[in-house]
Structure 1
């Protein structure tokens, strides 16, 4: 028993320095971006950008200024978009749609590059994720209830009537509460990851999830990499996924199918927790991503089946 406690304590000690480095990294991302949004709002430029993009985003039930959040998400991790969401006062319905768009299409350059090393095309995965973001948002806009009166983001708007000093106060108070929440979550997740790794629990957990692979349209052998992609994430779990593919744990075709699923639904643990922390309903995050990921994989399998039948049929006809 004492040995187990010592190993857990070691996991915690190893996680804390990584957590501290992540904290500094997050501060460098969140603070400048959230301040920029405040200043754009104060200057009136945000309203101009919003007006230009309103027609596109109105199709999915979102105000034009949310385009900045979505675009920001495509270039990096989710912490900056979360800071931006909490810098604006959005209805819970709009925030949920926007959150799922960001969840599908965040950090595209890094994550699509990793998927390109595990059996897929960089541009294929990027286009898939962007198109699915808007398809999912369009669908949610049709089915989500109104949730009247519920909002995400408590900060007051920084208008041109607000002084620059008040803008800075709004920025500091709005950002710090989000940062503290996220830092606690990141530290907890790092400790959890170290514990799973230390006690070799990932393999045991993947065996439990193996029967689900049939529902997902994936091979049973994909369970371990599916779990890596959903517990550790694509960015942090990329090295493991590349190594497993190089060891031929999955064929390239099977890896390509898995990437279709992970393109829509990955990092279910961390991504869900950090959005739930700002008030987004967990059920909509998990259910929506899994449902569309399953649909994408079975759609890809149907395409592969039809394509293979046509390829076989052409030589016979010739």
Structure 2
């Protein structure tokens, strides 16, 4: 590799990393302080009646609130703390797991979405609404049909001291956050190099052609497909960083940004997050296959509602490329 090429990779990776860090760190600090003050627990207690209506144990309110405001690991830690009193079957775990997958780390991730050019309010509300509706449908239908009613044991979680603890002290949190940011930087560098190699080998064009049928349903521009695919597989922060960078160079339309970022909001980190929820005892058909189909259906609906001749489509078309996308 020439020095000029390496310098280009360094500059691009550094720019993307600094952009993401400026978005993520302030939100992470606010969420950590809220967690230490007990505000996350209060949010969980407020959700208790709603969880009962969904056919889930009342303790699930705390688990989901922690997941929404922190991340899936935080939700698993809350579940571990409640493991002695938590009684759930496979259907309920699958419903909760799907809710956690649809809506987790919302403050931080939707800040990335906003910077990338879509409405954080719209995409955040979309994640929460779809999570609740999907979780309720799974719990109610499985209970009515007698599906997936086998009990799930959480005894292993209570024995895991790494999970069974509250918010970390300041120093461990700072160390953990620094490690996470270094990981983000490493992944961004690898992604930039990999995408450049795939582009040079013309593999990107092949992947785009294979994705064309799905793209037509979702309404995405073909050139946004590779970046969206990266986010779906690895995570919203990584996909969002690529879209932020590419949007400045390739001038994505507001509609394309909305569709791509709505897709990433609902379905991202497909490998890592799915494995985590499977470890809790969830059913893979519910948390992966059916969730993916539901996401595609929702994207197809948003694409239809944002066609150029519609009111929403005209509103998006009237926006400049540098302004955040506003929801209908």
TM class by shorter-chain length? 0.5 to 0.7
Give the drift of 1:154: 1.6
Q: 1:255 aligns with which of 254, 257, 282?
A: 257
Give the secondary-structure state (helix, strand or coil) at the position aligned to 1:120.
coil
Q: Deviations over 1:261-318 (max 9, x none)?
A: 2221111122112222333222221123222222222222232247349979xxxxxx
Instruction: Find out whether 1:80 has 2:88 as its counterpart.
Output: no
Which residue of the partner structure matches residue 101 of structure 1?
99
Q: Deviations over 1:110-153 (max 9, x none)?
A: 11111112221121111111111111112212333532333051
Please list every run of 5 or more consecutive structure 1 residues that lacks an aligned counterpart in the other structure: 1-28, 158-169, 177-185, 313-318
Give the secondary-structure state (helix, strand or coil) at the position aligned to 2:237.
helix
Instruction: Find out whether 1:150 has 2:151 as its counterpart.
Output: yes
The root-mean-square deviation of aligned C-alpha atoms, in Å, is 3.8
Give the secondary-structure state (helix, strand or coil) at the position aligned to 1:62.
coil
Instruction: Find out whether 1:55 has 2:49 as its counterpart.
Output: yes
Asked if 2 retains the 8 angstrom alpha-carbon contact of 1:119 and 1:253, the reply is no
Which residue of the partner structure matches residue 224 of structure 1?
226
For the structure 1 residues 143 and 257, does the alpha-carbon distance in structure 2 shift closer, same or farther, using more than 3 Å as the test? Answer: same
Q: 1:307 aligns with which of 284, 293, 310?
A: 310
Which residue of the partner structure matches residue 71 of structure 1?
65
Per the normalisation by structure 2, the TM-score is: 0.63
Instruction: Find out whether 1:289 has 2:291 as its counterpart.
Output: yes
Give the secondary-structure state (helix, strand or coil) at the position aligned to 1:272.
helix
For the structure 1 residues 69 and 250, does the alpha-carbon distance in structure 2 shift closer, same or farther, using more than 3 Å as the test? Answer: same
Asked if 1 retains the 8 angstrom alpha-carbon contact of 2:102 and 2:267, the reply is yes
Asked if 2 retains the 8 angstrom alpha-carbon contact of 1:262 and 1:293, the reply is no
Asked if 2 retains the 8 angstrom alpha-carbon contact of 1:70 and 1:81, the reply is yes
Asked if 2 retains the 8 angstrom alpha-carbon contact of 1:120 and 1:259, the reply is yes
Q: Look at both structures and tell me which one has the larger radius of gyration over its CA atoms.
A: 1
Structure 2 matches for 1:142-221, cutoff 5 A?
A: 142-144=140-142, 146-154=147-155, 172=161, 175=164, 199-200=194-195, 204=203, 207-208=206-207, 210-211=211-212, 212-221=214-223
Q: Deviations over 1:151-194 (max 9, x none)?
A: 0512598xxxxxxxxxxxx5638649xxxxxxxxx9x9999988
Give the secondary-structure state (helix, strand or coil) at the position aligned to 2:116.
coil
Name the CA distance, whole Å, in 2 between partners of 1:310 and 1:221. Answer: 20
Which residue of the partner structure matches residue 240 of structure 1?
242
Name the CA distance, whole Å, in 1 between partners of 2:107 and 2:89. Answer: 30
Which residue of the partner structure matches residue 4 of structure 1?
none
Asked if 2 retains the 8 angstrom alpha-carbon contact of 1:119 and 1:256, the reply is yes
Give the secondary-structure state (helix, strand or coil) at the position aligned to 1:218.
coil
Name the CA distance, whole Å, in 2 between partners of 1:195 and 1:68. Answer: 36
Count of residue pairs the alignment pairs up: 248
Asked if 1 retains the 8 angstrom alpha-carbon contact of 2:157 and 2:163, the reply is no
Asked if 2 retains the 8 angstrom alpha-carbon contact of 1:217 and 1:294, the reply is no
**Mean Cα deviation higher: 92-101 or 287-296:** 287-296
Which residue of the partner structure matches residue 271 of structure 2?
269
Give the drift of 1:254: 0.8
Please list every run of 5 or more consecutive structure 2 residues that lacks an aligned counterpart in the other structure: 1-30, 166-179, 316-328
For the structure 1 residues 290 and 190, does the alpha-carbon distance in structure 2 shift closer, same or farther, using more than 3 Å as the test? Answer: farther
